Structure 1
Amino acid sequence: MANQNSEAAASQLAILLTPPGWELLNSIDPSSAGTKEAALNLNLTLRKAGHPVELVTAVVQQAQLRSKARVKFGPFADRMVFTPAGLEQATRLKLAGLHAQRYTRAGITKVADLGCGIGADSLALASAEIDVTAVELDETTAAAATLNLMPWPSATVVNADAMDFDLTGFTGVWLDPARRTTDTSGTSRIFDPEAFSPPLSFVESLADRGLAVGVKMGPGLPHAAVPKTCEVQWVSINGDVTEAALWFGPLARPGVRRAALVIGENGATELTSSTDFDPDAALRGDVPVGEIDAFIHEPDGAVIRAGLIDELLKQTGGHLIDGHIAYFSTAESISTPMAKSYRVLAIRPYHVKNLRAWVKSEKIGVLDIKKRGMDVTPEELRKILLAGTGKDAKNKATLILTRVGDTRLAIEVEPVS
């Protein structure tokens, strides 16, 4: 299955690289293939215009990928080429720029991007006037990277195995290991860092050689798997935790062991700590725990992943409502990009029957449900609670489901801007 997908991608890319294919692709606005219906209509229009079926298929599918890629690459996507797997794992351009800054600040001028994919991070490194060699094992993906990096003379693409590439003369290395596997049923995510390609132990071996090494890992990276010799920074963009980046040698900041970088519409904010992970701090009493007050807050996922809730509590004066749960509470409203805030309206025991009666009496037709620490599926519960509501049920409400100790609670809240 993997070979068939690779051969199909190679065949389509070859068609696109012919003069007629490249001209037709670049004459199309990717938004014209932004939906399935739009892509179907574009397919029919191009066929009616007399273009060969194979060319139309390749052009429409690439236009669809370009449309999706605008989220990560903005207008750059309209002149790039992608593979489905390459786009899925590609770093957002904004984040790739932050990666490149690490190397420029450390004075690193020659970097090997091992496992470059379609070339997103290499593009950012080259834009920062760094001499970058992008190494990619998959021939089709390497071809896509070559096209994407053509505008930058300081970028070179090599079709080779990242683990066999000769690093003589390089002072820096960037890696984005493959974290998915492909079989007859499709692709699935890999969670063991030693099963990544290349594995985390290979990354550590490069750092042990004295190279400036950065590596992009999945946001679910277990704390126990984080090497002792690096800085780890979890990053979220608009509430979506996108990565845990490990930085070794001169790329690591002095006095920073773990960090949470939160990027939103109003800029970027960061929390850091010089200490190692301590999951039992709240249980020992080192982190304040108290009653649910007038406001309840949900920390950004990057803060939770980085284990920096204690630092956030120090900044806000808040306290956890349970030593095992990430929600925290304050008596006064707070303003922080590190958490979503809610005003507490009512606190009820979690009973489905009583909640259904509340939904009916309040004529609630739109219900947002959030949860932590409870074995509840919000989508299924929402269907149960809204079942049988009348046409006049037009009010909106938000519930936070959580527990304090052994007590399960349904907290009615309203979001605070």
Structure 2
Amino acid sequence: MRGAETNAETNAGAPGADSVRRLLSDDGRRLLAQLPPYDPDRVLSVTDRLRADGHAPDLVAAALTQSALRAKATAKFGAAAAGMFFTADGLEQATRPQIAAGHAQRFVDAEVDTVFDLGCGIGSDAEAFAAAGLRVHAVDLDPATAAIAAANAPSAVVEVADATTVSIPSDAAVWLDPARRTRGVADVTGRTRRTFRLDELLPSWEFVTALGASGRAVGTKLSPSFPLSALPPEASAQWVSYGGEVLECAVWFGPLADAHRVSARLVDASSASNDVVVHTDSVAPSADSIDDVDTYLYEADRAVVRAGVTAALTDAVGGVELSPGLGHVSTDQRIDVGFARRFRVLETMPFNQKALRSWLRLRRIGRVTVKKRGVTFDDATFRRDLKLKGSDHALLLVTRLAETQVVLVLDPDD
């Protein structure tokens, strides 16, 4: 049973246009509406029943795959997923609604009227643009994906075309979500291979930057691994996190660019008005020795670290960063900071496993949670070699400080 589900999901990573058209037809939509809540253990029995009712086998397979994708998409799109259409690759790359709303608001704030969404995927950004009152012309090279985008963003004009050949009016803004999967190159599960290289984007990075250099309002969604060294001088970059996970780096050109070259945006799941934007022109001071570790440790959100604006945290709490670029700041001040977690430091010591084991055993610590930043070792081997016995638990941070490795024993202080 499980195998049938897996094959149905992975083989539909890039469904054909004919299959998508059938699924989007009245018959396909009615069949989807009849399906019970997705249950992988019931795929075969549901398949047999639907075929016995006279439904074509290929339509049944497409509908069940879509049902599986909708169930998976609920984590990203909430209840709206039940009425949307997906591909496996499209769902993975699709922008969360809360983040897409932020993209749309930036165009609205720039008094843009029309947005050309080049490489629109399944249409999550296009729908957000339309919901914000913008006129949207969406483009995708793949006919099946474009058909799905048209279903998900019914107010948009959707065109099947090469984004690099589309004629864009001079007064229109542009949004690009370049494909970060290599067409025709699949992994062992049948999914197209993911790429993080700028020179493998489609449309190309050169095409994106040329549009940006034109002076028009241009924005693009890129991988969080985007190198700051590649940022054009006329653009700004913003790393975006949701629930503590960095999901994208958005690069903005022309009237959409920020005054600060780099920033971080922490998206609030409940309301865009609660988003936190972090930027700074300061440079974070660094600790010189283990004696600089104070009562509290603050851990900056990963988007703040990616953007390289940890100095905003050292400024906010009057502290020092343990090691440049890692996002851990120590201070004696207990302050609520909207872009960092706070811990109380119970102990600080050089990274010496024998000394750490003695400290933990003396306090009857039998279980540890290990966080590490800027160091490399095998967690399982590390825990095994501690040979702990006891009922209590400890949170350990293993990281760098100046030229040495250190261990901090922490207690969450949220």
TM over 0.5: yes
Where does 1:206-355 land on structure 2 (aligned, <5 Å)? Answer: 206-253=211-258, 255-264=259-268, 267-273=274-280, 281=283, 287-289=285-287, 291-323=292-324, 325-355=326-356
Runs of 5+ unmatched residues, structure 1: none
Distance 2:335 2:16 in 1: 50
Distance 1:382 1:199 in 2: 45
Q: Deviations over 1:362-383 (max 9, x none)?
A: 5545422111121224355345
Give the 3 Å change call, closer, same or farther, for CA 107–239 of structure 1 in structure 2.
same
Where does 1:3-402 land on structure 2 (aligned, <5 Å)? Answer: 8-10=15-17, 12-28=19-35, 32-33=37-38, 38-48=39-49, 50-51=52-53, 52=55, 53-150=57-154, 152=155, 155-168=156-169, 170-182=171-183, 183-185=185-187, 186-253=191-258, 255-264=259-268, 267-273=274-280, 281=283, 287-289=285-287, 291-323=292-324, 325-356=326-357, 362-378=363-379, 380-382=381-383, 384-385=385-386, 393-402=390-399
Residue identity in the other structure for 1:218: S
Give the 3 Å change call, closer, same or farther, for CA 353–44 of structure 1 in structure 2.
farther
Matched-pair contact (CA < 8 Å) for 2:322–2:402: no
Distance 1:263 1:205 in 2: 29
Matched-pair contact (CA < 8 Å) for 1:9–1:83: no
Distance 1:208 1:20 in 2: 47
2:407 counterpart of 1:416: no
Matched-pair contact (CA < 8 Å) for 1:370–1:378: no
Question: 1:76 Cα shift?
Answer: 1.7
Matched-pair contact (CA < 8 Å) for 1:102–1:251: yes
With the length of structure 1 as denominator, give the TM-score of the two structures: 0.86
Question: 1:103 Cα shift?
Answer: 1.1
Matched-pair contact (CA < 8 Å) for 1:136–1:161: yes
Question: 1:15 Cα shift?
Answer: 4.0
Distance 1:402 1:337 in 2: 23
Question: 1:93 Cα shift?
Answer: 0.7
Q: Deviations over 1:205-239 (max 9, x none)?
A: 11222321011111111110111101211111110
Q: Deviations over 1:181-223 (max 9, x none)?
A: 2524354432332321112221121122232101111111111
Question: 1:7 Cα shift?
Answer: 6.5
Q: Deviations over 1:22-73 (max 9, x none)?
A: 11212346xx32xxxx223144235235354433322221112112222222
Distance 2:326 2:403 in 1: 12
SS in 2 for 1:26: helix
Q: Which has the higher contact order (CA 8 A, sep 6+)?
A: 2
Task: Give the aligned partner of residue 404 of structure 2.
Answer: 407
Matched-pair contact (CA < 8 Å) for 2:70–2:82: yes
Distance 1:54 1:268 in 2: 44
With the length of structure 2 as denominator, give the TM-score of the two structures: 0.86
Matched-pair contact (CA < 8 Å) for 2:308–2:325: no
Runs of 5+ unmatched residues, structure 2: 1-10
Q: Deviations over 1:311-352 (max 9, x none)?
A: 221122111223464311011222112111111111233233
Report percent identity of matched pairs.
Answer: 36
Distance 1:58 1:112 in 2: 30
Say how many residue pairs are matched: 391
Question: 1:107 Cα shift?
Answer: 1.2
Distance 2:78 2:269 in 1: 15
SS in 2 for 1:374: coil
